[in-house]
Copies of this chain bind each other. A is one copy, B any other.
Amino acid sequence: MTKVNEELALKAAELVRLTHEAKIPVMVLFEGVAASGKSRLANELLLALDAKYTQFYATKTPTPEDLRMPFLFPYWTNLPARGEVTLYFRSWYASLLDYEYHGFKKDIYKDYQVLQQEIEGFEKLLINDGYEIIKFHVEISEDKRQEHIEKTKENPLTRWKAEEFEHAIPKELYENGMKELISNTADISPWTTINYTERTQAISEMYEVIIDRLEKALKKYKKKKKPEVDGKFTADFTTDLFVDTEDDMSKKDYKEQLPALQNRMREIQYALYEQKVPLILVYEGMDAAGKGGNIKRVREALDPTGYEVNAISAPTETELAHPYLWRFAVDLPRTGHIEIFDRSWYGRVLVERVEGFASTTEWQRAYEEIKEFEKSLITEGAIIIKFFLVLDKDEQLKRFEDREKTPDKQWKITDEDWRNREKWDIYLEASKDMIEKTSTDDAPWVIVPANNKKAARIKALKTIIGHCEKRLNI
Contact = CB atoms under 8 A, between A and B. Distances in A.
A50 B311 contact: yes
Contact of A305 (B10, B58, B64, B65): B58
Contact of A52 (B43, B65, B305, B313): B313
Interface string A280-311: 00000000000010011001101111001111
A316 B313 contact: no
Interface residues of A, number: 48
A44 to B, nearest CB: 10
A271 interface: yes
Contacts of A295: 51
Contact of A157 (B50, B87, B89, B267): B267
A150 interface: no
A299 B474 contact: no
Given A308-B56, A317-B316, A303 B39 contact: yes
Contacts of A303: 39, 43
A371 interface: no
A17 B318 CA distance: 24
A47 interface: yes
A342 interface: yes
Contacts of A271: 157
A309 B51 contact: yes
A305 B39 contact: yes
A88 to B, nearest CB: 11
Nearest to A42: B304
Interface string A250-272: 00000000000000000100110
A411 interface: yes
A408 interface: yes
Contacts of A274: 157, 160
A304 B158 contact: no
Contacts of A113: none
A46 interface: yes
Contacts of A313: 52
Nearest to A87: B304
A14 interface: yes
Nearest to A411: B17
A89 B39 CA distance: 42
Contact residues of A: prevailing secondary structure: helix
Nearest to A21: B411
Interface in A39-68: 39, 42-43, 46-47, 50-52, 56, 58, 63-65
A304 B56 CA distance: 7
A303 B161 CA distance: 11
A2 interface: no
A234 interface: no
A255 to B, nearest CB: 13
Interface string A341-381: 01000000000000000000000000000000000000000
A183 interface: no
A86 B65 CA distance: 23
A215 to B, nearest CB: 17
A43 B304 contact: yes
A473 interface: no
A58 B306 CA distance: 9
A165 to B, nearest CB: 13
Nearest to A297: B47
A270 B158 contact: yes
A288 to B, nearest CB: 15
Contacts of A87: 304
A158 B267 contact: yes
A14 B412 CA distance: 11
Contacts of A65: 63, 65
A155 interface: yes
Given A63-B65, A267-B155, A270-B157, A47 B318 contact: no
Interface of A: 10, 14, 17, 39, 42-43, 46-47, 50-52, 56, 58, 63-65, 87, 89, 155, 157-158, 160-161, 267, 270-271, 274, 292, 295-296, 299-300, 302-305, 308-311, 313, 316-318, 342, 408, 411, 474
5 contacts: A52-B311, A63-B64, A158-B267, A160-B270, A160-B274
Given A39-B304, A51-B309, A160-B274, 12 more contacts: A10-B408, A43-B302, A51-B295, A51-B311, A63-B65, A157-B267, A157-B270, A157-B274, A157-B474, A158-B270, A317-B317, A317-B318
